[in-house]
């Protein structure tokens, strides 16, 4: 099982939409920090801060290529977070709301959003 501080860093990094979108960009190939910053119209310094958070969580590796910093995604921490989520999967959720929906292209198709579900008369709310 993955140690708690590492999972905390992973989920902290994934909590930000910009960082999730940066990871999505990196899933198609290597990018330098300027390329990661461009879709968000942010400065190099701001993008570099996001990259440092992702790097601290182990979600990407950064390598100097001349004056540019090339980044590539690291999948092992994402797999560790996915395994942790599976271990806490509620048994009473409908099939389309379960974590397995990620793999099957269900309701989570292109995002890391978990829709809210009202079950058991309002007592078990998952958001």
Please name which of 74, 67, 94, 66 lies closest in space to residue 26, comparing C-alpha atoms: 74
Report if residue 33 sits inside a domain: yes
Do 21 and 55 lie in one domain? The reply is: yes
User: What pLDDT is attached to residue 8?
Assistant: 93
Do 70 and 121 lie in one domain? The reply is: no
End-to-end C-alpha distance for the chain, whole angstroms: 24
Alpha-carbon distance of 40 to 73, in angstroms, equals 19
Do 62 and 120 lie in one domain? The reply is: no
Report if residue 105 sits inside a domain: yes
Examine the pLDDT at 32 and tell me if it is beyond 80.
yes
Calculate mean pLDDT across residues 51-80: 93
Do 58 and 98 lie in one domain? The reply is: no
Examine the pLDDT at 117 and tell me if it is beyond 60.
no
Domain span at residue 34 reads: 4-76
Q: What is the pTM of this model?
A: 0.69
User: What pLDDT is attached to residue 38?
Assistant: 95
Report if residue 85 sits inside a domain: no
HEC letters along the chain? CCCHHHHHHHHHHHCCHHHHHHHHHHCCCCEEHHHHHHHHCCCHHHHHHHHHHHHHCCCEEEEEECCEEEEEECCHHHHHHHHHHHHCCCCCCCHHHCHHHHCCCCCCCCCCCCCCEEEHHHCEEEC
Please classify residue 5 by burial: count the beta carbons closer than 10 Å to its beta carbon, then call 0-12 exposed, 13-18 middle and 19+ buried.
exposed
Report if residue 32 sits inside a domain: yes
Do 28 and 59 lie in one domain? The reply is: yes
What is the domain count for the chain? Answer: 2
Question: Which CATH number goes with the domain that contains 37?
Answer: 1.10.10.10
Report if residue 83 sits inside a domain: no
Report the range of poorest mean pLDDT among 19-23, 36-40, 91-95, 123-127: 123-127
Instruction: For the chain, give the mean pLDDT.
Output: 78
Do 58 and 103 lie in one domain? The reply is: no
Do 116 and 61 lie in one domain? The reply is: no
């Amino acid at each position: 099982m993955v140690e708690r501080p590492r999972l905390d860093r992973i989920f902290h990094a994934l909590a930000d939409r910009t960082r999730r979108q940066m990871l999505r960009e990196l899933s198609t190939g290597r990018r330098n920090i300027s390329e990661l910053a461009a879709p968000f119209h942010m400065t190099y310094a701001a993008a570099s801060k996001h990259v440092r958070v992702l790097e601290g969580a182990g979600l990407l590796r950064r390598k100097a290529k001349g004056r540019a910093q090339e980044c590539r995604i690291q999948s092992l921490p994402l797999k560790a977070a996915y395994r942790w989520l599976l271990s806490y999967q509620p048994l009473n959720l409908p099939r389309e709301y379960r974590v397995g929906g990620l793999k099957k292209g269900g309701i989570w198709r292109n995002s890391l959003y978990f829709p809210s579900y009202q079950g058991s008369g309002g007592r078990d709310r998952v958001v």
